[in-house]
């Protein structure tokens, strides 16, 4: 098929880059322009709380698309040019440098930003979303001194683990009694709380933060129970908000993300698509709109959007099984499906201690496998992801994973 138009992709992290690349693999031969607010070549986020923060990977290893690679694939890079306004009727994007780009198809991949710290301290309070954030946090961590991490979710727990590995004294604060418990249930969540303890990280679960005062090196974190924690560095990991504010006035329906149909097309502008953390699309398998903040979703959704642009005669709905991994201390955690809303679960193998290798399989009223959480057991995770795609009955899934566990000496 021959394409004559221009596709403008806005946002240069995994969703934007993968859309541009997949357009080419799908045979799209129109013009592709990739526009990003940041000046750095497109880079990846997950290592920011892991290898990059630990200092084992340099920033250059995070590059997703080097300028030479972009040129080879016929992708025009426009870096350091934030999109300011979208005009769907006129098919134009206005950029911060005053220029404008005409498009036939536009892909919104502007992702999300860290929810800002609500506590105005002078300095030393960090969020973690960009390479610059990561470099600033790392500089403070290597300077030493106690660290308080606010938020015990994925990013908070990973930062705590990395800071601990760097030799810092770390306390994690979260208003929830069992931070991962809301997602995984209290029993499995308790193993995650124990993971911090086992590595010598203090936790204050069940208390909120009242305020943070002072400056870098000399901060004071006051908790809702009155405790005051001294800190050299504070990291606030309390979630992310979609970068959709620039779309105000575009006429697009924006409601905690760009609202899209099952084909990832904006509901009120058929030649505008969205992918990644900024997209709230209709998941046909779930019968509801979802916005997912995980790497694999951004990559898979990007590939689907590219397919739908390159093959308008064969549009495919997007109905993925959600998947996320997280590396915390000596645990490789992988979650497929949606544990929230499960009615029952079974644990196979062991989820306790340094030698943990096991999984929790979840089901609901349908009697099918609904989700799988594995620890240090990628093979079982790969099997469960396949079983989730094929809507396998829960009992069958449990049998298969148990069989895997009893195989050979390498099993749990």
Partner 1 sequence: MPVLKADFGACQGYANCVAGAPDAYDIDDDGVVVLLKEQVPEGDLPRLREAARSCPVSALTIEDA
Ligand X SMILES: Cc1cc2nc3c(=O)[nH]c(=O)nc-3n(C[C@H](O)[C@H](O)[C@H](O)COP(=O)(O)OP(=O)(O)OC[C@H]3O[C@@H](n4cnc5c(N)ncnc54)[C@H](O)[C@@H]3O)c2cc1C
Q: Write out the residues near partner 1 by the rule CB under 8 A.
A: 18, 21-22, 25-26, 44, 46, 295-296, 299-300, 303, 323, 325, 327, 332, 334, 376-379, 381-382, 385-386, 389, 407-408, 410-411
- Asked if 291 interacts with ligand X (CB under 6 A), we say no
Torsion from C-alpha of 249, 251, 255, 257, nearest 10 degrees: -80
Is position 11 an interface residue for ligand X (rule: CB under 6 A)? yes
Using the contact rule CB under 6 A, the part of the chain among 41-49, 135-143, 216-224, 228-236 near ligand X is 41-49
Tokens of 67: 């300028």
Q: Does 46 bind ligand X (CB under 6 A)?
A: yes
How far CA 26 is from CA of 2, 4, 29, 302, 329, in Å, comes to 11, 15, 9, 12, 39
If one asks whether residue 325 binds ligand X (CB under 6 A), the answer comes out as: yes
Query: Could you say which of partner 1, ligand X, none residue 216 binds, taking C-beta under 5 to 8 angstroms by partner kind?
Result: none
Contact 253, 239 (CB under 8 A): no
Range 334-357 burial, b when 16+ CB lie within 10 A, else e: bbbbbbeebeebeebbbbeeeebb
Q: Which does 338 bind (CB under 5 to 8 A by kind): ligand X, partner 1, none?
A: none
Phi, psi for residue 341 in degrees, rounded to 5: 95, 0
The encoded tokens of residue 6 equal 């221009």
Closest approach of ligand X to the CB of residue 48, in Å = 4
294 binding ligand X? (CB under 6 A): yes
- Under the binding rule (CB under 6 A), the answer on residue 242 touching ligand X is no
Nearer to ligand X, 81 or 405 (CB): 81
Closest distance to partner 1 from the beta carbon of 408 (Å): 7
Residue matched to tokens 């911060």? 96
Whose Cβ is closer to partner 1: residue 46's or residue 181's?
46
Rounded to an integer, what is the distance from CA 12 to the centroid of its chain?
15
What is the enclosing helix (H) or strand (E) of 15?
A: helix 14-25
Q: Is 393 exposed, middle or buried (0-12, 13-18, 19+ CB in 10 A)?
A: middle
Report which of 5, 11, 7 is spatially closest to residue 83, judged by C-alpha positions: 11
If one asks whether residue 38 binds ligand X (CB under 6 A), the answer comes out as yes
Pick from 326, 328, 334, 363: which binds ligand X (CB under 6 A)?
326
Give the number of residues in contact with ligand X, rule: CB under 6 A.
Answer: 36
Paired residues of 102 in beta bridges: 92
Give the one entry of ligand X, partner 1, none that residue 386 binds, where binding means its C-beta sits below a cut-off of 5 to 8 angstroms depending on kind.
partner 1
- Say which entry of ligand X, partner 1, none residue 9 contacts (CB below 5 to 8 A, set by partner kind): none
The residue (of 334 and 363) whose beta carbon lies closer to ligand X is: 334
Site membership for ligand X, residue 45 (CB under 6 A): yes
Q: Which of 21, 250, 260, 277 binds ligand X (CB under 6 A)?
A: 277
Candidate list 162, 243, 308, 374; residue touching ligand X; CB under 6 A:
243
Based on the number of CB atoms within 10 Å of its own CB, is 360 exposed (0-12), middle (13-18) or buried (19 or more)?
buried
What distance lies between CA 407 and its chain's CA centroid?
33
* Residue 138 makes contact with ligand X by CB under 6 A: no
Nearer to partner 1, 23 or 258 (CB): 23
Q: Does 244 bind ligand X (CB under 6 A)?
A: no
Give 68 or 410: the residue with its C-beta nearer to partner 1. 410
Is 337 a binding residue for ligand X by CB under 6 A? The answer is no
Which residues on adjacent β-strands are paired with residue 209?
223
Pair 279, 259: CB distance under 8 Å: no
Please report, as residue ranges, which positions from 68 to 107 form the binding site for ligand X (by CB under 6 A): 82-83
Least distance CB 379 / partner 1 (angstroms): 5
Residue 90's alpha-carbon distances to 86, 87, 101, 244, 264, in angstroms, are 9, 5, 11, 19, 21
Q: Which of the choices partner 1, ligand X, none does residue 262 contact, using the CB cut-off of 5 to 8 A by kind?
A: none
Q: Which residues pair with 177 in a beta bridge?
A: none
Binding-site ranges for ligand X (CB under 6 A): 10-16, 35-38, 45-46, 48-49, 82-83, 109-112, 128-129, 155, 243, 246, 276-277, 293-296, 298, 324-326
């Amino acid at each position: 098929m021959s394409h004559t138009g221009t596709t403008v992709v806005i946002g240069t992290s995994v969703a934007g880059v993968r859309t541009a690349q997949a357009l080419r693999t799908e045979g799209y031969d129109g013009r592709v322009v990739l526009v990003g607010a940041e000046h750095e070549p497109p880079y990846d986020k997950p290592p920011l709380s892991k290898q990059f923060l630990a200092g084992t990977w340099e920033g250059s290893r995070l590059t997703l698309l080097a300028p030479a690679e972009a040129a080879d694939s016929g992708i025009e890079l426009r870096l350091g040019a934030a999109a300011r306004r979208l005009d769907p009727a006129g098919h134009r994007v206005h950029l911060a440098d005053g220029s404008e780009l005409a498009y036939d198809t536009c892909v919104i991949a502007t992702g999300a930003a860290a929810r800002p710290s609500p506590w105005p301290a002078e300095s030393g309070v960090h969020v973690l979303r960009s390479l610059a954030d990561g470099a600033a946090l790392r500089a403070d961590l290597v300077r030493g001194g106690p660290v308080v991490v606010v938020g015990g979710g994925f990013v908070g727990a990973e930062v705590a683990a990395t800071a601990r590995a760097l030799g810092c004294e770390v306390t994690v604060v979260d208003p929830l009694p069992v931070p991962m418990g809301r997602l995984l249930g209290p029993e499995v969540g308790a193993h995650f709380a124990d993971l911090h303890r086992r590595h010598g990280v203090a936790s204050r679960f069940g208390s909120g933060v009242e305020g943070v005062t002072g400056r870098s090196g000399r901060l004071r974190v006051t908790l809702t129970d009155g405790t005051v924690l001294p800190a050299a560095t504070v990291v606030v990991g309390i979630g992310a908000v979609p970068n959709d504010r620039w779309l105000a006035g575009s006429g697009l329906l924006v409601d905690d993300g760009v609202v899209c149909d099952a084909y990832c097309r904006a509901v009120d502008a058929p030649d505008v698509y969205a992918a990644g953390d900024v997209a709230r699309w209709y998941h046909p398998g779930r019968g509801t709109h979802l916005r997912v903040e995980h790497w694999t979703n951004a990559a898979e959704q990007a590939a689907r959007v590219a397919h739908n642009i390159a093959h308008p005669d064969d549009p495919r709905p997007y109905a993925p099984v959600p998947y996320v991994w997280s590396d915390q201390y000596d645990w490789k955690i992988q979650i497929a499906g949606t544990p929230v809303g499960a009615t029952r679960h079974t644990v196979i193998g062991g989820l306790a201690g340094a030698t943990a290798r096991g999984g929790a399989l979840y089901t609901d009223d349908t009697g099918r496998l609904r989700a799988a959480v594995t620890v240090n057991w990628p093979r079982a995770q790969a099997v469960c992801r396949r079983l989730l795609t094929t809507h396998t009955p829960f009992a069958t899934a449990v049998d298969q994973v148990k069989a895997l566990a009893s195989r050979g000496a390498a099993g749990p």
